[in-house]
Amino acid sequence: MKADIEFFDQTKAACQSKSDEWDVRKEMRSQEVEGIDAALDILTSDENRALFDKSIKPGVANFLQISSSAPASRAYETLKAQVKKSHSVRLAALAVQIRTSKAGHFDKVIKDIDLMLKTLADEGAADLDKKTQCLDEYQDITKTVKDLDWKIKNNVAEIENLEQLIELRTSEKDAANEKIKETNQYIKDITDERKAENEAYIVAKDDDDAAINVLDTAKAAMAKFYKKNGVKMGAIQGAAKGAVLAQDEPVFERSEDDAPDASFSGKGKNKNASKNILSLFSYIIEDLTNELIHEKKTEAQSQADFEKESATAEQLVSDLEEKVVTLEGIIATRVDDKKDENKDMKENNVDRDAELKYQAKITPDCDWIIKAFDGRADARAAEAGGLTTAKEFLAGKTSLIQSEHKFDDSKLSSLGFLGVAH
């Protein structure tokens, strides 16, 4: 960019200088044409014609009069013909100089011709330099614009790619956050469920323990009488292994013909019914004890499953949170990359606009020199040819040629200066 700016400033300065130089040359040529027109008006006026008739005498070598066959006349005619073709102010001025030079004073004219030939060569070189510069600048601008177009195209593609990546990563982040929300809710749900199950287990365990205590107390109270009075009840169903009460004698059924026993019942009369009740106590206590054992195992397994499931869910949340942090970092990086890419694209567009603006600025002059180059070169070649021919005629003159005829100023006035090009 610095190199482009420096090149632009140098080119701008050179073009401005050339433009200023062109304005000065145009103004000077306008003034030159005005001077020549004024000089012709003066020389060809009736008053000055009469003056020339009086002051220039036949046979006197004061003001050169040239016959049509003399070298100076031929040089003059050559330039005059070239002036009509090229409308060159310089050739017109030189033709006047030849026409009005005194005999024997053509060295200055030849010197002016050499100077003019050098000027033509310098102008040709300047035109060539300008044309080359313009073509080079056009080529550089075209190359730079194409390069910038390629960069801008890549900028656009990269920005679109970054936008897609940002959108994709944002979608992934949103999905991860939603999954975190769902998993946290799941953890809360199973925690609440586990809490409710544990509370229910504790209540049930307390109820079972209390029931067992009550049954044990009731069973002990009921069995106390029989133990205290030595009533043997035999094995109690449902009792713990090895739990046997005092044995009783076998009971035989009485005959229906026997007279009713009118004696008071003994202390063990209801032992069989009591035995059934004590067995039922034992069954219930055993069931409750087994239920407590089973529920304890179930509670332990449920707690273990909960802890494992909760740990898995919490690990998933942790992984998802880490993923969200990673995605946020990726998104931030992509956003920064997109900003940098937009900034780079903006700079590329600015550079491209500057190139096109500069191209528009130099186009009038450059298009003109490129289009007019061949015509100007041909015109200079024609001028140079006329000057060279005139110089050869003048260089070959060795003596003054005087004519007995009156100065023919009609030839001077017939020079076609109208429409002289600048």
Provide CB contacts within 8 A for 30, sequence distance 6+.
422
Give the chain's domain count. 1
Residue 122 included in any domain:
yes
Residue 259 included in any domain:
no
Residue 132 included in any domain:
yes
Provide CB contacts within 8 A for 385, sequence distance 6+.
82
pLDDT at 336: 97
Residue 228 included in any domain:
no
Coil/strand/helix, residue 285? helix
Residue 113 included in any domain:
yes
Residue 263 included in any domain:
no
pLDDT at 237: 54
pLDDT at 73: 66
Q: Which two tokens stand for residue 260?
A: 């009713």
Overall residue count recorded for the chain in this entry: 422
Q: Which residues of 135-158 are buried (b: 16+ CB within 10 A; e: fewer)?
A: eebbeeeeebbeebeebbeebeeb
Residue 223 included in any domain:
no
Q: What totals of helices (H) and strands (E) does the chain contain, helices first?
A: 7, 0
Cβ 71 vs Cβ 105: under 8 Å: no
> What residues of the chain score a pLDDT lower than 50?
56-69, 239-252, 259, 262-269, 397-422
pLDDT at 399: 36
pLDDT at 83: 61
Domain of residue 115: give its range: 2-159+365-413
d(CA 208, CA 186): 32
Residue 299 included in any domain:
no
pLDDT at 280: 83
Cβ 109 vs Cβ 94: under 8 Å: yes
Provide CB contacts within 8 A for 186, sequence distance 6+.
313
